[in-house]
Amino acid sequence: MSVSHSCCPDMIPFEDVLFQVRKVLQVGPRLVPKLLSELHEANVFSTQYYLSLFKHGEVEENSLCEIIFNDEEDLARKLSLPIWQKWDISRGIMDSAFSKEDDSDAFTDALDAETQDIVSDPAFELLPDNIIVEYLDSILSGAIEDLLDPDFLEVLDCPSDGTDTTCLLTPENANFTEKRPITKRKGEPQLKKPTYHKRNKKEKVCAESPLNESTPTITSDRNFHFSLNTFQPMLHVPFTSITAFDSPPLVPTSAFQIIRTLCPLTQPLISTVIPTGPTYVLVSPQSVSPGTPILPLSPPGGTVAPPELTASVLPVGSLSDRVCTILPSESVDSSSPIKVSNELLQKNTESPPPKTERKVQPEAPKCVKDYVHHAKSHIKNTCCVMRGGLEMESHYVDMHLVQRKLLIKSGKNANKCLEKELVVLSDSERKQGQLDRSQLFHNTTSRPKQSIALLGKAGVGKTMFIQRLCLDWASGSLPQFQFVFLLNCKLLDLTKSSYSFKSLLFDLSMSPHCEYSDAVFKHILSSPDDVLIIFDSFDDIKDFEGLLQSPAKSPTGTKYTIKQLFSGLFQKEILSGCTLLIATRPKDVLNQVLRKMDSLLELCCFSPEDIELYTSKYFKDASIQENALTKIKNQRYIYSLCSNPLLCWITCFLLEHQDGCSDALPTTLTDLCQRVTSKHLQLSNQENSILDYKHMQNIPQLCKTAWEGFKNHSTHANLVSSAELVDCGLKSGILTSYKTLSHQENHFASLFTQNLLGAVHLVQSKQVNEKTLVAYGAVQMRKRKILGESQDVMQRFVMGLLFQKTPTNGMSILDSSIDMQAKKKAVDTHLENLKPTELVPARLLELFHCVYETNSGKFAKMLLKNLPDHLSFCGVQLCPSDVYVICHLLQQASALKRTFSINLQDTCIPISGLKELVGLQCIKSFWAHTADTIGLWEDLQQSNDELNLKSAIEKFTLNPFKATQAYHIENLPLLVKIHRVKKLPMSRFVSALDEGVPALRQLQRVEFELGIQTGPELFPKLIEVLPSLQSLEHLDLEKNKIGDSGAEKLAVVLHYLTSLKLLNLSQNCIGDAGVEKLSQALVSVPSLQSLSLYGNLIDDNGAEHLASVLPDIKFLQDLDIKFNKFSDIGAKKLSAALKNCTGMKSLELWNDFIPYGVFEHLHLQDPRIRSL
């Protein structure tokens, strides 16, 4: 029910929005395309709606002007509704439209006229009716010239042809050289013809109106000027033959107006008066004051559109509305009216600036250009070095990006876990969707990328990627950005309220000192589109609760916390239009802003080719390269770890500084990181080849500092009191120093180094008891979400340090004199009591890693013994090292005579890893992404490995098949095609497919849970698959909104499902038409035992169709048809049919349309009829 605006002051006054839209269309049509573009960019209009506003969908100014000319009122109403619905966004855009540089004067004049009261003229109030009638008669008779001052037309300059009616003022002293005859009607006396001056063709003419007409205006003091408004031809006329106009006005008055409409009024309204030609409307000056307009407010919740927008025929706009929107608002100086007219003419005849795709930015002063040049030189010097002192140009390996998709979840727990919101892509999808660094800022949609998230695990190379990006800017490869500010979040204190936006950019970023910071900052504020702000190490943010609350509002003066400044930037409260790049790990603090990011990109790990390339760049000598690469490949776990760029560098560093060529690489992550840390400490002390006593004394202090940072979720090494310890950490590479203009801080070099030292403190410090050790260092049923990936690594190191043998070659940072037996026993007991069957997939994977790090056969057997028969890693993104650890431990299951089925759906497992896992003897069945499975078959076929191909085809299963995302169902038709033609897409014949795909033949349960958004769209793909599922017993299609059309499609294929026992069609908007088709098809499914049509739109006719076939469905036991629309008539027919169904156990048919008494009576007749 609609509510009047008068009774609800907070409701949006829609009429005012419509009034403003009309004003824009009438006063500034050249601004309309730009205005629509801005509304589209602000998501007020959808792309489809935006394109529909232009002729033939072509976004051109001419096509829109033609639409405005043909039906301005219809266009105004089309635009007003979405603008009114999103007035919070539209208001600023509409306000700014009146101050655009394209036609600022015209808009300002129109606004002044609307907002000021026009004083009425008493002379006009006393105007008798007979004078108006006489004047109108003179217009119709063509004798309007008699009513005008004799000098009126002498100042006009009109062309002789009838095509261009644009008139210009002629100076008073101009010489008239030509006369233009004035046409007259037949039968009228010849009038005195004034002389006209021929138009000078060189003069500029404003031709904005589709009719190319200007409006002459004569003020009440007999001075004449033109109003060059674009649509309504309006004539302001001083009369000389009417005495009422000769009397001097009591107050300054406006002109009396005669409006010529664009087209004649529609018949038969006044067809008897003016059958053809234009229509003239006489308007008194006092009638054109609209009063002060009231700005619309935001619509409250539940606001409905005015009835006029929902009517089938829209009302025609008032002509007086158009008049008041095009009146010139410039006040007329009575002493010099011609001067004002000339000024107005000059303003309106200026050509608008050319339309550009990008906003015109102000010219940068010399001091700004100098600073940009200085900043680029500074970036080249600071970003040219990688970790370990390696040169960026010679050692950097370009890494690909992958566009990640976001799964929008609902519910109170939707924001708790990022892994559940990011759609895990298949290996084939990742390869197809890879991007390179140059495509980072490319827009694939009409919406610009102003906030980009760069995701990646620890050590994957996010910081190196950003440094490479900054070097690209410094070398001119990012011309769209004039300024780049790099902020390291390790150095930002989010709680301290002492930062202005200017200090954030110039003092806390990695930019150099700016001598003219005020001038540069002022230019930045005027050119936000040219600014790129990078937040590196965003996962190091502390106090991230309420990250987007209380955003900064002012870019100047006021001081805020870093958190408020980030919130203001992200929510476009300050420097709106700048681009934000946020680099973070995918499990941490970005959860709060993930859904609002314009683009989500993930940095890929090293591929096998990248590992070889990096090794060749690290070792310059060819023989050393080959030897190093051979060692890496021979130790398969280390080779899998090298997919992480940081761990690849660690491995190469260890190989470079090995004492002997015969030394083998370590077999665990703990051993690798321990050896490298020990080697760094040795190299920092050149006098000794092994760790001396002095360094051993520093290690416990560094370990304690690392542990404190781990607990506080910080990498900061707070060692101010010990300069010697800081020096030791910096020399050994354990610590690294970060500098800004305001301060300098020391941080742990990497997550792996800090967690290793923290783990050493846990296992050897007497201040840490067994309970604390188990809480932080062993796998738990639940994990502290704030610690994220850091705790996973900590647990692996604790298990490795406790149970691995201590190296005897001086490559250990452990103190061998400390007894750790009590802590070992505590962890041992915890692992024995742990129940792997109750662990979620992510925790189960961490348990595999922790057991592997112990390098203990005892723990491996204990794990394999307690594992469930069905292993699920569904939803966990598996990297190469994860795959190796799983394979390594499951290989030992054969000795225990255990077999497993494994769910690898949504794991992004590479084809090579899938091939290795599927080839294990203990794996009896697997379920992976359909596209990756087909890719595995093709890989085995190309390698002529028929034995493993046959095994991979037989082990693949889909039962039970649960489709919750679109990609779950999209590749099923290809699998069905392979099943039918019995060959792979790229091969001629495959003997293993003689009987088709076993997974389809054996599939018994399908749950189609795509929901009402994507369910109707992808339901036809399921229909295409169903005929091949001859063993299907359970088909659940609940709540997919398939409607009658979907029910009809299902009815066509139901006869193929000869084994179907349960069919759930609840809440699918199925009506009588759909039930009629289904009823006929259900008879062909004699095995059906349970049918649910709960919560549909079935009426009495549908109930009758169902009742007619109910006795023919021999094995049907349960029918649920509650909460439909049939009345007691349909209920009685179903009850009557139930008497002939002796095998049925229950019929649930209660709904609000059945009288309760009737239902009770039916229930008493047959107890099988139930309500619930």
Of 583, 527, 515, nearest in space to 555 by CA: 527
Contact yes or no for 473/496 (Cβ under 8 A)? no
**pLDDT recorded at residue 639:** 96
More confident call, 896 vs 64 = 896
Which stretch of 124-128, 455-459, 907-911, 952-956 has the lowest confidence by average pLDDT?
124-128
Per this entry, what is the length of the chain? Answer: 1172
pLDDT digits (tens, 9 = 90+) for 4-28: 333 333 456 777 888 888 877 776 6
Residue 550 is encoded by which pair of tokens? 């209380």
Q: What is the mean pLDDT of the chain?
A: 76
With a CB cutoff of 8 Å and minimum separation 6, the contacts of 137 are none
* 187 has pLDDT over 50: no
Helix axes 87-97, 14-27, angle to 10 degrees: 30
Cα dihedral value 357, 363, 366, 370, nearest 10: -20
* pLDDT at residue 160 is higher than 70: no
Residue 408 has pLDDT above 70, yes or no: no
Spell out the SS3 assignment of 812-855: CCCCCCCCCHHHHHHHHHHHHHCCHHHCCHHHHHHHHHHHHHHC
Query: What does the pLDDT average to over 134-146?
Result: 51
Q: Is 1083 exposed, middle or buried (0-12, 13-18, 19+ CB in 10 A)?
A: middle
Which range, 250-264, 380-394, 453-467, 576-590, has the best average confidence (pLDDT)? 453-467
Amino acid at 692: D
Read off the pLDDT of residues 898-928 as tens digits, 9 standing for 90 and up. 999 999 988 989 999 999 999 999 999 999 9
- Judged against a pLDDT cut of 70, whether residue 313 lies above it is answered with no
pLDDT at position 204, please?
37
Q: What does the pLDDT read at residue 280?
A: 53
Confidence (pLDDT) at 133: 56
Name the pLDDT band for 86 (thresholds 50, 70, 90): confident
Give the pLDDT of residue 594: 75
Q: What pLDDT is attached to residue 92? A: 77
**pLDDT at residue 285 greater than cutoff 80:** no
Q: Tell me how far apart the alpha carbons of residues 666 and 612 are, in angstroms, rounded to a whole number.
A: 19
Instruction: Report pLDDT for 738.
Output: 86
In this prediction, residue 690 carries a pLDDT of: 46
CB atoms within 10 A of CB 39: 22
Least confident of 70-74, 523-527, 961-965: 70-74
pLDDT tens per residue across span 381-406: 999 988 878 888 888 999 899 988 77
The residue among 828 and 223 whose pLDDT is bigger is 828
120, 286 in Cβ contact below 8 A?
A: yes
For residue 1104, pLDDT beyond 60? yes
DSSP per residue over 591-633, as a string? GGTGGG-SEEEEE----HHHHHHHHHHH--SHHHHHHHHHHHH
Mean pLDDT, residues 1039-1047: 94
pLDDT of residue 670: 94
Residue 683: which residues within 8 A CB-CB, separation 6 or more? Answer: 657, 732
Over 80: is that where the pLDDT of 216 sits?
A: no
Closest alpha carbon to 501 in 468, 524, 476, 519 = 524
Banded pLDDT at 196 (limits 50, 70, 90) = very low
pLDDT at 1125 over 50: yes
Distance CA 953, CA 987 (A): 15
Distance of CA 690 to the CA centre of its chain: 54
Tens digit of pLDDT for each residue in 415-464? 444 444 677 777 878 888 889 998 899 877 667 788 999 999 999 999 99
Predicted pLDDT of residue 134: 59
Quote the pLDDT of residue 637. 96
- Which residues have C-beta within 8 Å of that of residue 404, sequence separation ≥ 6? 422, 423, 425, 455, 600, 601, 602
High-pLDDT (> 70) share of the chain, %: 69
